[in-house]
Amino acid sequence: MDSKQFKEAATSTIDEIITYFETLPQRDVVSSVTPGYLRPLLAPSAPAEGEPWSLIQSDLESKILPGITHWSHPGFHAFFPCATSYPSILGELYSSALSGACFNWICSPAVTELETIVLDWLSQLLGLPSCYLSTGPTNGGGVIQGSASEAVLTAMVAAREKYLLETIPSDLSEEEREDAIALKRAKMVALATTATHSSTKKAALILGVRFVTIPVTAATNYSLTAPALSSTLSSLRARGLEPFFLTATLGTTDTCAVDDFAGITSSLSTSPFPPGTPGEIWVHIDAAYAGAALVLPEVQSSTKISLIEKFHSFDMNMHKWLLTNFDASCLFVRDRKWFVQALSVNQAVYGNSASAGGLVTDYREWQIPLGRRFRSLKIWFVLRSYGVKGLQEYITRTAKIGEEFAEWVNEKKDLFEVLTGPSFALTVFRMTGKDEEERNERTKKLAEKINASGKIWITSTVLDGRYAIRFMTGVARTEREHVKAAFGVICEAAEGIVKGE
Amino acid sequence: MDSKQFKEAATSTIDEIITYFETLPQRDVVSSVTPGYLRPLLAPSAPAEGEPWSLIQSDLESKILPGITHWSHPGFHAFFPCATSYPSILGELYSSALSGACFNWICSPAVTELETIVLDWLSQLLGLPSCYLSTGPTNGGGVIQGSASEAVLTAMVAAREKYLLETIPSDLSEEEREDAIALKRAKMVALATTATHSSTKKAALILGVRFVTIPVTAATNYSLTAPALSSTLSSLRARGLEPFFLTATLGTTDTCAVDDFAGITSSLSTSPFPPGTPGEIWVHIDAAYAGAALVLPEVQSSTKISLIEKFHSFDMNMHKWLLTNFDASCLFVRDRKWFVQALSVNQAVYGNSASAGGLVTDYREWQIPLGRRFRSLKIWFVLRSYGVKGLQEYITRTAKIGEEFAEWVNEKKDLFEVLTGPSFALTVFRMTGKDEEERNERTKKLAEKINASGKIWITSTVLDGRYAIRFMTGVARTEREHVKAAFGVICEAAEGIVKGE
C-alpha cells in the first residue's frame, strides 16, 4: 500500500467511522452471532498474494461488524463504559504512525515527558493530594498502564518488595536471606473486600501470596469500614499471618460503593504497623471507573479524596468514563522509587547516557512490560479538546441521567426495588415479589428479556444472594431520551413477567 | 469535536502522517532534546475551556515531534525494529473507533474469533507444529499479548500452576496443601541463559520464584546446548531445587543466537522428569524478534522449529519485524487449559450464557489484564495486504541487506572484527586493536561517534567483557543505499579513531 492508496483508504475509513457513530442507534447493541460464526466466512489461511484494500474493507463491513458489540451505543448500559471520542481517535492515529517501543527516555523523550506532564495535569484535575505529582514532595508521579489489572499487579509487586525490604533484617547472608524471604512470603496476605474487583485476587494469584477478602454487606452499603478492617487484621495477625497490601475501592464493580477512606486510615493508625512505619500496609485505591467523577470538586470532597495522602497508589481508567480510548489506565504512586526498586532489571543493551545520568524517567521500570505505546497523546488531546469544563459537563450530564433513571425506578414501587444507588451513574435494582425466591426468579427473567430486545444491554449481578440488575448511564452517546425509552422497555418486560407472560 | 471537525482534523492528520514518512530521511533519527525539555513548553495544567484542533496539531508539530526518536527512520539500526505500516495504521484506526473492553466473547464476538483465526493463520505461516493451532490435536491456540514480557509472565504463571498441580498430592487438607505449596515455591527455579532477554528474570521476580541463568559463551555462539542445560539441571537438583520453567530463545537480543532445540529436547528427555510426564519443565520459546523470519520455509527448517512440538509455548512479536504496530505479541500455547486453570478468576458480573455454555473462548482467561483492545484487526489487515509473498520478500530483502553489511565489515579487517552474525539482519562487530583494552575503548568511542552523527542510531552491548556494536537492518524503510551510507559513516569514524582524532 503506497501513500496514495493509504490516503484513499484512510479517507474512506474516516467516512466509515463517522457513519458508524451516526448510525449506531439503528444497530442492535449486542452482536447476535452464534459461537464460531466467523471461521466459515474467512479463508483457512493467509493469502499468498496481497489483496486490495477495497476487498478487505468490504469484508470488514460484511463479516466483522455483525460480530461487534457496540460499547458506544446509546443503549449500552452493561458493565462500565469503554470510551472513545474523536480527539482520542486522533491520538491513536498519530501514535500508530509514531510507533516505537519507548521503554527508555531516549527511545523518544516526548513519549516519556508528555506522559509525566499529562498525568500531573490529571492528578491536579482529580484533586489528588500533591504527593501523587511528579513534582510533589514525595517523588511521586503517574504512569499509564494497560488496564486496572496491570495497575494493581504493579502496585502489589512494589508493595511486596517494600515489605520484604522493611521487615527482613539487612545483615543476613545471601542464603539466610533467601530462607527468610521464602518463610515471609508464605505468610504474606493481600487484602480486598468481597466487593473489590477480581483483579486484586488475580494479582495475588500471580504473585503467589495469600488472598483474603473482608466481607462487606448491605448494612454498610457494600463499603469497607474501620471495624471490618480492624477485625480482619487482628484475626490474621493472631494466626501469625502478615497483611501487607489492601485494595480499597472508589466505585466498586457491582454497586459503585466507595470504601471509607477515613475509617481505613483510622483502623490502620491503631494497628501495630501504622502508616509511615516499616511494615505498614500498602493501600492501593482502585478508582478504575468512578475516579473519573473526581473531575467534579464536589465529588473530591464527598469521597474525601484528600485522605489518600496516607495511602500508596491510586489508579483510574480514562478509558472508562473519561472519553479516552482503551487503553489508558492512569496509575499514580506516592514514591516512584517503590516501583523502580521492585521492577528494575538491567541489561547492557538498554544502557545509555541519559539513563545512566539519572536525570530521566525510564518508564520500563514502572511497569510489567518493557515496551510501550505513545498513549499519553490521546490523553493530551482529550484534556485539551474538551477542557476541564467539557469533562465536568459530560460527567455531570451522564450522572444526572442516572439519577433520573433511579427516580423512575423508585416511582414504580409495585414493580421494582432499588438496591443501591444512584451512584456514579449506576443504579442497581431488582423486581418485587412475594419472597426472595420470586424476586430472584423475576429479576433473572427480566434481565434476559431486556437483553433479548437487542436495543439495550444491561448486566446482572448477585448481592448477598439477591439477583440484581445494574443499569449504567455513562456512555457518551446516551441521552435522557434513550434512557427514557430503555425504561419503557424495562417496565413493559417487568409488567409482562408479573402477568405471567 | 463534531463529525465535520473530526473529518477535517483526521484528513489533515493523514496528510501529516504521509508527509512524516516521506520526510523521515531528512530528520535526525534520535531526538536531541535535553531531559526536561517539554515541561516549560506546555501549560502547567489542563485548560479550563476546550481548545481548537488547529492549536493542538500545531503544538504537536512544534513541541512533540522534536522529542520523537524515529523508529521507522531508515537510519534506525538500534535494538530491534518497532514496526508500523499503512495497513496496520488502518487497523488501529478502526480499532479505536470500535473501542471496547473485550474480555469475554459476548463483549464483541468478532474480537475474539478474529484473534483465534488470524493467530491460526500466523501459526501456519510460521510453520509451528499443529499443536499450536486452536483447531489442533492438543487444544492449543494463540492469544495477542501486549509484549513479549507479558507473554513470558503469562507462560510462567501457567507453568507454575501446572507444576504445582502435578507435583503436590491431591489428597491433602487445605492447610497441608498451603504448606506444601509454600515449601515447593521456595524451591522452584525458572531458568534462562545469560543471553536470554531480561523479561524472564522480571517474570521470575514478579512470581517470586528463584531465577538461575545458564552460562552461554562465544564457544557455542551464545546459544544454549544440551551439555550446558544438563549440567545446570543436575546441579540444581543436587541442591534440592526444582527447575520448572525454561525460556529458550530464537534470536537473542544481543546477537540473535538460536538455542539448540534438538539439544534441549535430548537433555530434557534424559532428565528425571522427561517431557510429557508430571513435573516436566515448561519450555517457553521467546522468538520475539527473529520469529518473524519463520515466514521463510528455509528458516523453519534451519531453526528446526518443528521440534517445539515437545515444548509448551511460543511467542513472537509481529510489531518488531513484521510490519505491524506495537502492540502485537503473538503467544501460542500447546494446551490452552494451562492458561485457563492458572488465570481464570470468576466474578458474577462477568457471567453470561455464552461463557457458561463453554462454547466460546474468553480471552481474559489467557492473560494478565481483564480488558483488551481489538488488536487482531491490524494483524488481519497486514497479512491480507502484504500476503505471504509480500512478507517473505520483506524479510528476505532486509536480511539480505544485513548480510551485505556483514560482508563490508568483514572486508575491512584492519578496522573491524565481526563477533557474531549476520544473523536475522543483525551483525555484531567491534574495532580491532592491539589488546582487549584498546579494542573496548575504540569500540565504545566508535559507538558514541556514530550516534553523535544524528544520521544513524546503533546500540552497543558487552559480550563476555567485549564491548560490541549491534547493527540491525530490519526497518522497512531501510534500503541498501542507506546501509551503504551508514557504513561510510562508520568507516570514517573508525579511521578517525585509529588516527587518534
Together in a domain, B34 and B151: no
Does residue A15 have a pLDDT over 80? yes
Q: How high is the pLDDT of residue A358?
A: 75
Together in a domain, B152 and B278: yes
Average pLDDT, chain A: 96
Q: Tell me if A244 is assigned to some domain.
A: yes
Q: How high is the pLDDT of residue A175?
A: 84
Q: Which three cell numbers stand for residue A253?
A: 464493580
Q: How many residues does chain B have?
A: 501
Q: Tell me if A73 is assigned to some domain.
A: no
Distance in angstroms (rounded) separating the CA atoms of residues B347 and A200: 12
Q: Are B424 and B293 in contact (CB under 8 A)?
A: yes
Q: How high is the pLDDT of residue A479?
A: 97
Q: How far is CA A258 from each of CA A301, A397, A423, rounded to the nearest angstrom?
A: 13, 21, 9
Q: What's the structural domain count of chain A?
A: 2
List, in sequence order, every residue forming a beta bridge with A250; answer none if it has no partner: A258
Distance in angstroms (rounded) separating the CA atoms of residues B246 and B41: 48
| CB-CB under 8 Å, A88 with B100 | no
Q: Tell me if A28 is assigned to some domain.
A: no
Q: What is the mean pLDDT of residues A256-264?
A: 98
* Residue A118 φ/ψ, nearest 5 degrees: -70, -25
- pLDDT band at A484; cut points 50, 70, 90: very high
Buried b (16+ CB within 10 A) or exposed e, B204-230: bbbbbbbbeebebeeebbbbbbbebbb
- Provide, as residue numbers in chain B, all residues whose Cβ is less than 8 Å from the Cβ of A96: 84, 88-89, 92-93, 325
Distance in angstroms (rounded) separating the CA atoms of residues A77 and A71: 9
Together in a domain, A323 and A194: yes
User: Across chain B, how many H-helices and E-strands are there?
Assistant: 16, 11
Residue of B4, B7, B11, B14 to mutate, interface with A, max A Cβ within 10 Å: B14
Q: Are A198 and B347 in contact (CB under 8 A)?
A: yes
Q: How high is the pLDDT of residue A345?
A: 85
Interface A-B: count of C-beta contacts within 8 A: 451
Together in a domain, B265 and B216: yes
Q: Tell me if B55 is assigned to some domain.
A: yes
CATH, residue A360: 3.40.640.10
E strand or H helix at B219, and its extent?
none
* Residue whose cell numbers read 469497607: A224
- Provide, as residue numbers in chain B, all residues whose Cβ is less than 8 Å from the Cβ of A384: 46-47, 50-51, 55-56
Q: Which three cell numbers stand for residue A30?
A: 449486542
Q: Tell me if A71 is assigned to some domain.
A: no
Q: How high is the pLDDT of residue B146?
A: 95
The DSSP secondary structure of B139-171, one letter per residue, reads: --EEEEES-HHHHHHHHHHHHHHHHHHHHS-TT
Give B485→chain A minimum CA distance, Å. 23
The DSSP secondary structure of B41-100, one letter per residue, reads: GS-SS--SS---HHHHHHHIIIIIGGG---TTSTTB-SSS-----HHHHHHHHHHHHT--
Q: What is the mean pLDDT of residues A168-173?
A: 92
Among A311, A343, A373, the domain-final residue is A373
Together in a domain, A229 and A298: yes
Under DSSP, the state recorded for A16 is H
- Provide, as residue numbers in chain B, all residues whose Cβ is less than 8 Å from the Cβ of A168: none
Q: What is the mean pLDDT of residues A170-183?
A: 88
What would the pLDDT profile of A411-463 be if each residue is shown by its tens digit? 999 999 999 999 999 999 999 999 999 999 999 999 999 999 888 999 999 99
| CB-CB under 8 Å, B88 with A96 | yes
| CB-CB under 8 Å, A9 with B90 | yes
Per DSSP, the three-state class of A230 is helix
| CB-CB under 8 Å, B146 with A146 | yes
Provide the domain limits for residue A494.
394-498
Per DSSP, the three-state class of A464 is coil
Does residue A51 have a pLDDT over 80? yes
Ranges of chain B with pLDDT below 70: none
Among A373, A408, A441, the domain-final residue is A373
ipTM exceeding cut-off 0.90 for this assembly:
yes
- pLDDT band at A349; cut points 50, 70, 90: confident
Q: How far is CA A58 from each of CA A16, A20, A72, B206, rounded to the nearest angstrom?
A: 11, 14, 22, 44
Together in a domain, B128 and B17: no
Give A439→chain B minimum CA distance, Å. 18
E strand or H helix at A376, and its extent?
helix A376-411
Q: How high is the pLDDT of residue A90?
A: 98
Q: Tell me if A135 is assigned to some domain.
A: yes
| Listed residue (B95, B122, B142) closest to B372, CA to CA | B95
E strand or H helix at B302, and its extent?
helix B297-302
Together in a domain, A366 and A476: no
Together in a domain, A368 and A405: no
Together in a domain, B176 and B119: yes
Q: How high is the pLDDT of residue B347?
A: 77
Q: How high is the pLDDT of residue B458?
A: 97
- Name the residue in chain A with its Cα closest to that of B67: A110
List, in sequence order, every residue forming a beta bridge with A170; answer none if it has no partner: none
User: What is the residue type of A187?
Assistant: K
Q: How high is the pLDDT of residue A140?
A: 95
Q: Tell me: cis bond preceding B327? Omega within 30 of 0 counts.
A: yes
What would the pLDDT profile of A305-328 be if each residue is shown by its tens digit? 999 999 999 999 999 999 999 999
pTM above 0.80, yes or no: yes
- Name the residue in chain A with its Cα closest to that of B362: A35
- Name the residue in chain A with its Cα closest to that of B64: A110
Distance in angstroms (rounded) separating the CA atoms of residues B336 and A69: 25
Does residue A347 have a pLDDT over 80? no
- Provide, as residue numbers in chain B, all residues whose Cβ is less than 8 Å from the Cβ of A342: 205
Among A373, A405, A434, the domain-final residue is A373
Does residue A501 have a pLDDT over 90? no
Q: How high is the pLDDT of residue B178?
A: 83
Give A265→chain B minimum CA distance, Å. 28
Give B103→chain A minimum CA distance, Å. 11
B59 burial type by CB count under 10 A (0-12 exposed, 13-18 middle, 19+ buried): middle
Distance in angstroms (rounded) separating the CA atoms of residues B170 and B305: 36
What would the pLDDT profile of B94-112 be if each residue is shown by its tens digit? 999 999 998 999 999 999 9
Together in a domain, B186 and B254: yes
Q: Are B333 and B155 in contact (CB under 8 A)?
A: yes
Together in a domain, B61 and B147: no
Together in a domain, A357 and A408: no
Chain centroid, CA B61 distance in Å: 30
The DSSP secondary structure of B106-135, one letter per residue, reads: GG-HHHHHHHHHHHHHHHHHTT--GGGSTT
Does residue A357 have a pLDDT over 80? no
